[in-house]
C-alpha cells in the first residue's frame, strides 16, 4: 500500500484528479468529463476511497449526467459556478463572478465533501446545493447549512430529522445528550424554560435532509431568550450591605 501511495504515477493522477474536481465547480468544460473518466480508471484502492465515492455521489445527485456523451448539464454547471463566484465580471468564464473567489469557494465545497465521511452526507450537500441553484437560499446560507451537516454525526442528523418533525416549535425541556452539539451549529436556541429549534434548523430540514419532501418552515418561531441589562442603581445596591458600602480591595 505504501509503495502504491508513494508512486509518482499515482501522485500525478490524484493531483490532476483534485484539480479536475475543483474545475467541475468552476464550469471547466473538460473537468466534469475527465473526473468521471479518471474515477473509472484509477486503481481500485484509490477509486474505492471514501472521498471519491462521496464526490461521485454528490455529482450524480446535483447534475444531470448523460452517460452517452459524458457531459453534465451545462445549465446547472453555469448556475453553480455563478453561485460560488460572488460578484464582479469574469470574461474568461463567460459569466459574472470573481475567478479567484470562484476557485476558493470551489475548494471549500470539495473540502466539505472530503469531510463528509458517508455517502448520505454527500447527498445532503447535494440537496443543499440544489436549493441554492434554485435560488431558494443564498450562498452564505448554503455554506452555513453545509457546515451543520459536516459538524454533526450521522446519528445526530437522523435524530434531529425525527425530533424536529415531532417537536416543531415547542419548548424542549429535557436534558438530552446532543443539546450542546445542536446549539454549536445554530440549530437550537435558549428560550424561556428550555430550548427551541431555530429557523436555521427548519431550513436544514427543508433544504438538506428532506429536500424531496414538502417541508413547511413555521411562520412563527420562538424568540431567543435575551439577558437583561442591570441599571447603575441596581449595581450600587449590590455593593451595599445593610446601609453600608461594601469595600473591595486593600485598606
Of 75-79, 114-118, 164-168, the range with the highest mean pLDDT is 164-168
Q: Across residues 158-178, what is the average pLDDT?
A: 90
What is the structure's pLDDT at 18?
A: 57
Better pLDDT: 5 or 170: 170
Distance CA 241, CA 223 (A): 37
Distance CA 162, CA 117 (A): 21
pLDDT tens-digit readout, 80-137: 777 887 654 445 555 555 667 788 888 899 899 988 889 999 999 999 999 998 999 9
Amino acid at each position: 500500500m505504501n509503495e502504491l501511495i508513494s508512486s509518482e504515477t499515482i501522485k500525478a493522477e490524484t493531483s490532476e484528479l483534485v484539480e479536475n474536481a475543483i474545475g467541475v465547480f468552476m464550469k471547466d468544460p473538460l473537468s466534469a468529463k475527465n473526473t468521471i473518466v479518471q474515477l473509472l480508471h484509477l486503481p481500485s484502492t484509490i477509486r474505492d476511497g471514501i472521498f471519491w465515492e462521496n464526490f461521485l455521489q454528490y455529482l450524480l445527485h446535483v447534475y444531470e449526467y448523460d452517460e452517452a456523451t459524458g457531459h453534465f448539464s451545462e445549465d446547472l454547471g453555469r448556475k453553480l459556478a455563478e453561485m460560488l463566484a460572488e460578484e464582479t465580471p469574469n470574461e474568461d468564464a463567460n459569466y459574472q463572478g470573481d475567478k479567484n473567489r470562484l476557485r476558493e469557494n470551489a475548494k471549500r465545497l470539495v473540502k466539505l465533501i472530503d469531510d463528509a465521511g458517508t455517502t448520505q452526507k454527500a447527498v445532503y450537500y447535494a440537496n443543499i446545493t440544489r436549493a441554492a441553484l434554485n435560488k431558494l437560499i443564498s450562498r452564505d446560507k448554503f455554506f452555513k447549512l453545509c457546515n451543520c451537516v459536516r459538524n454533526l454525526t450521522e446519528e445526530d442528523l437522523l435524530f434531529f430529522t425525527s425530533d424536529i418533525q415531532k417537536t416543531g416549535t415547542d419548548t424542549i425541556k429535557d436534558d438530552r445528550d446532543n443539546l450542546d452539539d445542536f446549539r454549536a451549529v445554530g440549530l437550537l436556541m435558549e428560550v424561556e424554560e428550555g430550548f427551541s429549534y431555530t429557523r436555521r434548523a427548519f431550513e436544514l430540514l427543508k433544504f438538506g435532509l428532506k429536500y424531496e419532501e414538502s417541508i413547511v418552515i413555521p411562520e412563527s418561531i420562538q424568540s431567543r431568550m435575551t439577558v437583561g441589562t442591570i441599571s447603575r442603581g441596581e449595581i450600587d445596591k449590590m455593593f451595599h450591605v445593610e446601609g453600608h458600602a461594601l469595600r473591595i480591595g486593600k485598606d
